[in-house]
Structures are given as C-alpha cells and as structure tokens.
Amino acid sequence: MQIHRLKLSGFKSFVEPAELRIAPGLTGVVGPNGCGKSNLLEAIRWVMGETSAKSMRSGGMEDVIFAGTSTRPQRDFAEVVLHAEDDQGDELIVTRRIERGAGSAYRVNGRDVRAKDVALTFADAATGAHSPALVSQGKIAQVIAARPAERRAMLEEAAGIAGLHVRRKDAEGK
C-alpha cells in the first residue's frame, strides 16, 4: 500500500485545512520544535483507526481536536483524510472525523463504515497504525540500538501479530 496524500483539518495543531503529498520512497519530516512533525505521524495512525489516546499523547480521544490558543477559538471537530493506493492498484480514501461529544466516524471511499472495517483494511503486514514503517521520534534510538535479533522481533511483532489479532477477533465474531 502506498499513501500518497494526507488532508488534515482541526487535527491537533493543524487548525486550518492542510494537504500534503507523499512521494514514493522514504519520507522524512523536518522542521523546528513544536511545528507539528509528530502530530503528522499521529494523524496517519489516527485515520488508520488508532484507539489508544495515550499513543496520541492525549488524555482522551477528543484531545486531538484543535484546542484553541489565546488568539484562535477551539474547533468542534477534527478530520483526517488519507489517500492511498492498495496493492491491487485501487484507490483507497479513508476519512476519520471526530466531533466533540459524538465520537469518531469513518468513511472508506465515501461510504460510512465501522471502526472495525478500517482496522481490517489496515490489518495487513506492512500497513496500519502499528506498522513498522511508521517510526516515531522516541522509537528511532530504540530501533538503531537494538541487536539484530531484537530488531527482528520488534518488526515481526509490529508487522504480523497486530494484523492476525484483528483478523482472528473478526473471525470469532467479537
């Protein structure tokens, strides 16, 4: 799967609608402290169905909504749209939106879907909110310092087990 575009609105520090194109290959995000680099990675995880507020560095899920500053009022919703091409070459557009007091709603290619459907879409090895392809700030040193066997275990855990876990639960009807 290749992510090629990301749109954010009201998500954390991305208060105004912002659109990013992501070229094939390795992508690095650079900028001064506090400019929103980590928020960007979190937006990718979030639209893929991240359910842990802690891994979004938030107390609660609504904390991803722009909270306001001394000069700007808070927003009532946050929305992230991810455009990707799946392994069959088909276009995949996933939207997650959260409104204050209303929880999250997901759409895939314009159709309302359940959180579980999004989790299944991203359950495969190299994709998803826990993908080894998304290396967050705190993890870089850990990945570099790990011995080969440990590094392999890290990648295997992130790559395989999360996907199988979701699939198994779905098969069991949970």
Name the site residues for Mg ion (rule: CB under 5 A).
37-38, 137
- Shortest Cβ distance from residue 28 to Mg ion (Å)? 13
Identify the burial level of 32 via C-beta atoms within 10 angstroms of its C-beta, where 0-12 means exposed, 13-18 middle and 19 or more buried.
Answer: exposed
- Near ligand ATP by CB under 6 A: residue from 2, 18, 37, 55: 37
- Near ligand ATP by CB under 6 A: residue from 63, 99, 117, 170: 63
Task: Report which residue type is found at 98.
Answer: I
Q: How many residues bind ligand ATP (CB under 6 A)?
A: 15
For residues 81 and 97, is the Cβ–Cβ distance under 8 A? no
Q: How far apart are CA 10 and CA 154, in angstroms?
A: 33
Does 9 bind ligand ATP (CB under 6 A)? Our answer is: no
From the list ligand ATP, Mg ion, none, pick the one residue 28 interacts with, judged by a Cβ distance below 5 to 8 Å according to partner type. none
**Which residue in the block uniquely carries the two structure tokens 């409104």?**
99
Site for ligand ATP in 90-109 (CB under 6 A): none
For residue 7 the two structure tokens come to 């749109």
End-to-end, the C-alpha distance of the chain in Å comes to 27
Strand positions, DSSP E, the chain:
2-9, 18-21, 77-85, 91-99, 103-108, 111-113
For residue 32 the two structure tokens come to 């001064």
- Shortest Cβ distance from residue 154 to ligand ATP (Å)? 21
Residues in binding site for ATP: 32-39
Q: Which is nearer to Mg ion, 38 or 55 (CB)?
A: 38
- Shortest Cβ distance from residue 13 to ligand ATP (Å)? 4
Does 83 bind ligand ATP (CB under 6 A)? Our answer is: no
For residues 56 and 65, is the Cβ–Cβ distance under 8 A? no
Q: Which residues bind ligand ATP (CB under 6 A)?
A: 12-13, 31, 33-39, 63, 65-67, 137
